Structure 1
Amino acid sequence: MVKKILKSYDYSLIIAIVLLCCFGLVMVYSSSMITAVSRFGYEPDHFFQRQKLALLAGGLAFFIMIIFPYRAFLHDKIIKLITFGSIIVLISLFFIGHAAGGAQSWISIGGFSIQPGEFVKLSVIIYLAAVYDKKQSYIDEFGRGVLPPLIFTVLICLFVVIQPDFGTAFIIAMISICMILCSGMAFKSIVKLIALLLLAGVLMAPIVIMKGLFSDEQLSRFVGVTDPFGNIEGAGYQLVNSFYAIGSGGLKGLGLGQGVQKYGYLPESHTDFIMAVIAEELGILGVLFVLILLTFVILKGFSVARKCQDPFGTLLAVGISSMIAIQSMINLGGLTGLLPITGVPLPFISYGGSSILLLMISMGLLVNVSMFTTYRETYKKPLNQEVDQTGNVKQFKRNQTSSIR
């Protein structure tokens, strides 16, 4: 059985993840060595070493997740722990959290800063996948099938918005929408849900504006993206220097470590704007390398979702793939001026211990779902008989065909 399990793992997906992480580690060192010394007074390899530690911890978590049966997360006690734990952690930020980047969304533990909002993303994915797995028999009943998970998701988003961390709240909301669209519910239920969300957005917008949840720094990001060169010394400073970095790279770039913009011109060169450094030092070829690998991982995730016969596994794959796709688009949109800068890191590449740990756990879960799915397809039987005990797989697959494909 062990030999069959090992054959069922998707090694192309694992290799793509390893390549992204290794490439990201190299670029964190290249993009942060000047910032570490001149801005913070650290050793040149300070951020590199911390990212390496996060990757080692993430690698251990990844290994655990690829061998831990994903359907164990369906246990009621685990779901309750995830839901109540997420709410308690987010509430605790208002008492023990510290601010960074204009948002009180960090907790310091043993000299390391952890951003709970990152892990809440995965909590929401697991919760929604579990809830919609159990609600398949009445998924189209709006009161029982749709509203309860929606209320939890909105509550989580509100706690994140109050910090205020609009980027993370937006990502959680978009992931939730993607999962709801692929949950197997009928089109008319989806229309009702979208109408309800639009109404809530219209009602909440004046409250957000009147209460002043947007700080001056956050409002300046909208000004910077609309006219960066008109605000080159202020709100448009980072974006303009991002343009300079991208434009000076050409096809092959200036060479690894030879970039100029990281010398204080691009303040967040190792986090939000690391792709600009990649463009400057490795050119279009370096950018394409990252984009091809990210696209491969995302498409692999959706491919797993389509093949999986289990609603819980399908929705996990959809949620995780959506998370990576949405974060990538927001980050790339910010550094190219297509979207306001939101402080969202580029998956696997940007510096950030919380981000890389979340991604490795999520990828381990995705690889686990892929392994179980491949095992079932190859050997015509489930590795874990629990997969067939839900009693709703066939009904879900009928609805899923129209939702995902």
Structure 2
Amino acid sequence: MKNVKKLYQHFDYPLFITYIILALFGLLMVYSSSMIQGLNKFDDSTYYFSKQLKHVIIAIPVFLIMAAIPHRHYKEKKAMIAMVAVMLLSLGAVLIFGFGKEEVGSKSWIRTPVGNFQPSEFAKIIIILYFSSFFAKKNEKGTLEQFNKSIGPPLFILGLTAGLVMLETDVGATLIIVFVAMTVILASGLRFKSFLRMIVAMFLVLIPMIGILLLFKRQSILTGSRQGRLMAFMDPFKYPEGSGFQIINSFLAIGSGGLTGLGLGKSVQKLGYLPEPHTDMIFAVISEELGIFGTTIVLGGIGFIVFRAFSLGLKTKSPQARMLAFGLGSLFGIQTVLNIGGLTSVIPLTGVTLPFISYGGTSFILLSLALGILMNVSMFVKKEQSDKGV
């Protein structure tokens, strides 16, 4: 307890304030973007807002609790085994008991006594914790550059995790898991040649696995909806009444917002033109209603979190803290790029949510948990520099 109090003397207030601003702004935009959906489905314009408010109320204590847990504990062997076991069991449970959106063939949720849960969101964080802990221990033992000893366990866990998530046909989560793992490896301190060898080995494991999945689960993965998304990505205006409908209306929403927007609550595209505008398409509504002002709040806030994470990674002398900082920063950054890139047709739509802004309990709470871990890393780095008189 004494160490925790001493650590909290270095509390990162800018990071916490940014988190609160994004959470409150997200609540505001969930209310604005979901009013019509709430009225049509539940005869309650505040339905989604009320649920998201509960998520925020739960998430803030989760953030503070995770900030108080020293990140070094994730390096303990029992903790690593427990985290990976829970992750794999929950992902396996999805394949047996899971449910999702039938129209896209997705099966990524499981029901629990306290509500629905998406294990793939949990897996994103566990992969970061496991990889950073594993390579930190190799670094301490001086065996990091011993390729054969460093590659086996993490590649096996990554391949198994990515495979299970891909079986859910959650392409967006699979991409995030693979990319954050690559970021952690890059930050591990491996020489560039060793890093390239590991990345090649990673893809030699993942590509055949994806090929096998496509061979046996082609119809589940390449559903009509997903093929439509790929065609809409190539040319959405060729399918204006079909697969391109969502992208075209996203363009209209973003374009019509201009500098100042149409005004809060005055979005036209949320009136049935953007399916589920409060989830993965919420950035389009923000652009339409609040223009550059609203998008600056979102991109500035998330950008600050990513910048803070990477700067912490560059400052610390701890290999584990460095990998955690880069891994968590890449998680927020990659998820934002996939979300905004999808609705602007820079990349195909993946259904990935916008961190801290989109409606969704599992996503918001677990991203808050991840940010809490980053807060602990930040306090550790500040204490590290304070002890050195920097």
Q: Same fold (TM over 0.5)?
A: yes
CA deviation string 1:140-178 (max 9, x = no partner): 111101222111111100000011111101100000001
In 2, the alpha carbon distance for the partners of 1:206 and 1:150 equals: 17
SS in 2 for 1:331: helix
- State the TM-score, normalizing by the size of structure 1: 0.90
In 2, the alpha carbon distance for the partners of 1:111 and 1:217 equals: 31
The letter for the 1-side match of 2:287 is: A
Report what 1:193 is aligned to: 198
Report what 1:88 is aligned to: 89
- State the TM-score, normalizing by the size of structure 2: 0.94
Match of 1:149 among 149, 154, 157: 154
Matches within 5 A, 1:133-144: 133-136=136-139, 137-144=142-149
In 2, the alpha carbon distance for the partners of 1:91 and 1:292 equals: 37
Q: Does 1:334 align with 2:342?
A: yes
Structure-2 change in CA distance of 1:182 and 1:345 (3 Å): same
Comparing 144-153 with 106-115, greater Cα deviation is found at 106-115
The letter for the 1-side match of 2:228 is: S
Instruction: Give the Å deviation of 1:199.
Output: 3.8
Matches within 5 A, 1:309-328: 309-328=317-336
The letter for the 2-side match of 1:132 is: F
In 2, the alpha carbon distance for the partners of 1:123 and 1:145 equals: 18
Q: Does 1:178 align with 2:176?
A: no
Comparing 326-335 with 64-73, greater Cα deviation is found at 64-73
Asked if 2 retains the 8 angstrom alpha-carbon contact of 1:138 and 1:144, the reply is yes
In 1, the alpha carbon distance for the partners of 2:6 and 2:135 equals: 30
The letter for the 1-side match of 2:170 is: D
The letter for the 2-side match of 1:92 is: A
Report what 1:28 is aligned to: 30
Asked if 2 retains the 8 angstrom alpha-carbon contact of 1:348 and 1:356, the reply is yes
The letter for the 1-side match of 2:37 is: T
Q: What percentage of residue pairs aligned between the two structures are identical?
A: 39
Asked if 1 retains the 8 angstrom alpha-carbon contact of 2:106 and 2:168, the reply is yes
Match of 1:10 among 9, 12, 33: 12
In 1, the alpha carbon distance for the partners of 2:210 and 2:166 equals: 12
Matches within 5 A, 1:361-372: 361-372=369-380
CA deviation string 1:368-394 (max 9, x = no partner): 11101101211339xxxxxxxxxxxxx
Report what 1:303 is aligned to: 311
In 2, the alpha carbon distance for the partners of 1:149 and 1:201 equals: 13
Report what 2:133 is aligned to: 130
CA deviation string 1:75-103 (max 9, x = no partner): 22211111111111111112211122531
SS in 2 for 1:113: strand
Gaps of 5+ in 1: 382-405
How many correspondences in the alignment?
Answer: 380
Matches within 5 A, 1:6-405: 6-38=8-40, 40-100=41-101, 101-110=104-113, 112-136=115-139, 137-200=142-205, 203-204=208-209, 206-211=211-216, 212=218, 213-380=221-388
Structure-2 change in CA distance of 1:347 and 1:8 (3 Å): same
Instruction: Give the Å deviation of 1:202.
Output: 5.0
The letter for the 1-side match of 2:246 is: Q
Asked if 2 retains the 8 angstrom alpha-carbon contact of 1:140 and 1:146, the reply is no
In 2, the alpha carbon distance for the partners of 1:379 and 1:42 equals: 58
SS in 2 for 1:108: strand
Asked if 1 retains the 8 angstrom alpha-carbon contact of 2:163 and 2:210, the reply is no
The letter for the 2-side match of 1:323 is: L
Gaps of 5+ in 2: none
CA deviation string 1:37-87 (max 9, x = no partner): 22x234111111111111111101011111222212222221111111111
Cα root mean square deviation, aligned: 1.7
In 1, the alpha carbon distance for the partners of 2:5 and 2:137 equals: 32
The letter for the 2-side match of 1:165 is: D
Structure-2 change in CA distance of 1:3 and 1:41 (3 Å): closer
